[in-house]
Amino acid sequence: MPVYPRCGVRPVRGEGVYLFGEHGEKYLDFASGIAVNCLGHGHPKLVEAIAKQAATLMHVSNLYGSPQGEQFAQRLVDNSFADTVFFTNSGAEAVECAIKTARRHHFANGNPQRHTLITFNNAFHGRTIGTISATNQPKMRDGFEPLLPGFRYAPFNDLAAALALVDDTTAGFLVETIQGEGGVTAGTDEFLQGLRKACDEHGLLLILDEVQCGYGRTGKMWAYEHAGITPDIMSVAKGIGGGFPLGACLATEEAANGMIAGTHGSTYGGNPLAMAAGEAVLDVITKDGFLDHVASMGERLRSALEQLIPNHDTVFDSVRGRGLMTGIKLKDDAVAREFVAHARDNHGLLTVAAGENVVRILPPLVIEESHVAEFVERLSDAARTYVPVIAE
Ligand code: PMP
């Protein structure tokens, strides 16, 4: 199925912060597989853990329980708001699990009519029927109808509009703490705190989608920490496996009270190999000083980008995001998708286009100062040589 547009890069090997193409081309990877390769490519701890586990036990059915899954789940609980964890293979499945957990919570509490989630314009939650139903974007939904009922949409960061949608059928809110695909837009503290308060007052559930913004990317373990709140349910993926396909739905015991044995499942979710990968990543990112390193690299990158803008003020507009989840918004005459292709093909720089004409910068969390300097230099060259394609 040719659902992915072709581009000029075909990486065949990765090493640290670099990717190499089939003809030896070298790319500075500030995309990280879209926020996945948080330890870069070929991190020895991750490679070793996967190899060791593959030789010991690659897969076993959840029917027999999973000591590896229990151990990793406990470590996630110890490092988050959550009491309980369900493992998945992707972000979309983690969001699906979050939606099911919320519906089932109200069902178990005798309120089955509370099945509708309020979600937000410009969101991205995945590509399954459930998760595209949770988005309000025609480009993801057209031709896939009928979609799942049970979602209503409000403008992002508009608390009053979201609260105005709450009625007797509302189960809660589903929101990215920082919108990634939508354009690296952080939920404001007032917005996120307001949603939390409304949930507390009306018995609703706050579901945060931290598939892209969680797991150390912002310089804190979870993006919600910046707003001083906690969710009831949270979807996680991408960085959690460092490149191994892994996701998780985390929840408080109360929010997950309807998810009892037999209600949900996954053949591969919590597979020993995925758990070994997850633990190896967690070992690294919970090491003393690691998150401070991410925060300081994020600040360094941000200030370097801010200094760059005046020199290229026909291309760059402003910097957004937190930590190493950074975006640079382009001026109206420039086009993010075109600029990303130009930087890739002519300057060996990998970034990702996002909504609102933003170039997303999502480097591995292990970058050093020298990588930031190299990135900014190449980005500056790319801006200097970029010529927008003027539509006829
Ligand atoms: N939620 C968010 C916030 C995401 O950014 C993504 C992926 N970009 C997803 C969910 C879906 O994850 P996956 O592609 O692993 O299904």
In this prediction, residue 321 carries a pLDDT of: 97
Work out the average pLDDT over 2-15: 88
368 marked among binding-site residues: no
Q: Residue 392: which pLDDT band, with cuts at 50, 70 and 90? A: low
Of the candidates 32, 35, 17, 41, which has an alpha carbon nearest to the alpha carbon of residue 367? 17
Of the candidates 237, 351, 364, 239, which has an alpha carbon nearest to the alpha carbon of residue 298? 364
Cα(55) to centroid(ligand 1), Å: 30
Of the candidates 320, 319, 337, 327, which has an alpha carbon nearest to the alpha carbon of residue 386? 337
102 marked among binding-site residues: no
pLDDT in tens, 64-96: 988 999 999 999 999 999 999 999 999 999 999
In this prediction, residue 390 carries a pLDDT of: 64
In this prediction, residue 61 carries a pLDDT of: 95
What's the CATH fold of domain 44-285? Answer: Aspartate Aminotransferase; domain 2 (3.40.640)
Q: How far apart are CA 176 and CA 156, in angstroms?
A: 9
Q: Where are the domains of the chain?
A: 11-30+289-385, 44-285
What number is the ipTM of this complex?
0.99
225 marked among binding-site residues: no
Work out the average pLDDT over 108-134: 98
DSSP per-residue string spanning 1-52:
---S---S--EEEEEBTEEEETTS-EEEESSHHHHT-TT-BS-HHHHHHHHH
Of ligand 1's atoms, which has the minimum distance to the CA of residue 247? Answer: 15
211 lines ligand 1 (CB under 6 A): yes
Q: In what order do the strands lie in the sheet with 170-176?
A: 84-88, 247-251, 233-236, 205-209, 170-176, 116-120, 151-154
Provide the mean pLDDT of the chain. Answer: 97
Tell me which long-range contacts 160-168 makes (C-beta under 8 A, separation of at least 24).
162/118, 162/120, 162/194, 162/195, 162/198, 163/194, 163/198, 165/118, 166/118, 166/198, 166/202, 166/204, 168/113, 168/114
Could you name the CATH architecture of 11-30+289-385?
Alpha-Beta Complex (3.90)
H/E run at residue 384? helix 369-385
95 lines ligand 1 (CB under 6 A): yes
126 lines ligand 1 (CB under 6 A): yes
Cα(119) to centroid(ligand 1), Å: 15
Three-state SS for 120?
strand
Of the candidates 66, 22, 94, which has an alpha carbon nearest to the alpha carbon of residue 241? 94
176 lines ligand 1 (CB under 6 A): yes
* Pocket perturbation via mutation, ligand 1, pick of 93, 124, 360 by most ligand atoms within 8 A of CB: 124
212 marked among binding-site residues: yes
Of ligand 1's atoms, which has the minimum distance to the CA of residue 127? Answer: 16
108 marked among binding-site residues: no
Q: Quick check: 162 and 173 in contact, CB under 8 A? A: yes
- CA-nearest residue for atom 5, ligand 1, is 212
Q: Quick check: 69 and 252 in contact, CB under 8 A? A: no
Of ligand 1's atoms, which has the minimum distance to the CA of residue 126? Answer: 11
How much of the chain exceeds pLDDT 70, in percent?
99
Q: Residue 9: which pLDDT band, with cuts at 50, 70 and 90? A: confident
232 lines ligand 1 (CB under 6 A): no
Rounded to two decimals, what is the model's pTM? 0.98
Cα(314) to centroid(ligand 1), Å: 32
Work out the average pLDDT over 330-344: 96
Cα(181) to centroid(ligand 1), Å: 9
Query: Cis peptide before 149, with omega less than 30 degrees from 0?
Result: no
Q: Provide the CA 298 distance to its chain's centre, in angstroms.
A: 17
pLDDT in tens, 27-55: 999 999 999 999 999 999 999 999 999 99
277 lines ligand 1 (CB under 6 A): no
- CA-nearest residue for atom 13, ligand 1, is 91
96 lines ligand 1 (CB under 6 A): no
Within 13 A of 238's CA, how many CA atoms are on the CB side? Answer: 27
Q: Do domains 11-30+289-385 and 44-285 have the same CATH topology?
A: no
Within 13 A of 148's CA, how many CA atoms are on the CB side? Answer: 17
180 lines ligand 1 (CB under 6 A): yes
Q: Residue 5: which pLDDT band, with cuts at 50, 70 and 90? A: confident
Q: Provide the CA 388 distance to its chain's centre, in angstroms.
A: 30
For residue 146 the two structure tokens come to: 């009928």
* Pocket perturbation via mutation, ligand 1, pick of 88, 207, 211, 249 by most ligand atoms within 8 A of CB: 211
Of ligand 1's atoms, which has the minimum distance to the CA of residue 209? Answer: 3
Q: Is the pLDDT of residue 205 over 90?
A: yes
Pairing, β 205-209 against β 349-350: unpaired
pLDDT in tens, 123-161: 999 999 999 999 999 999 999 999 999 999 999 999 999
Three-state SS for 184?
coil
For residue 243 the two structure tokens come to: 């490149």
Q: Quick check: 248 and 85 in contact, CB under 8 A? A: yes
Work out the average pLDDT over 351-377: 98
Residues annotated as catalytic are: 124, 209, 238
127 marked among binding-site residues: yes
Q: How far, in Å, are 212, 250, 296 from residue 324 at the CA level? A: 11, 23, 9
Q: Quick check: 47 and 243 in contact, CB under 8 A? A: no
Q: Residue 307: which pLDDT band, with cuts at 50, 70 and 90? A: very high
Q: Residue 391: which pLDDT band, with cuts at 50, 70 and 90? A: low
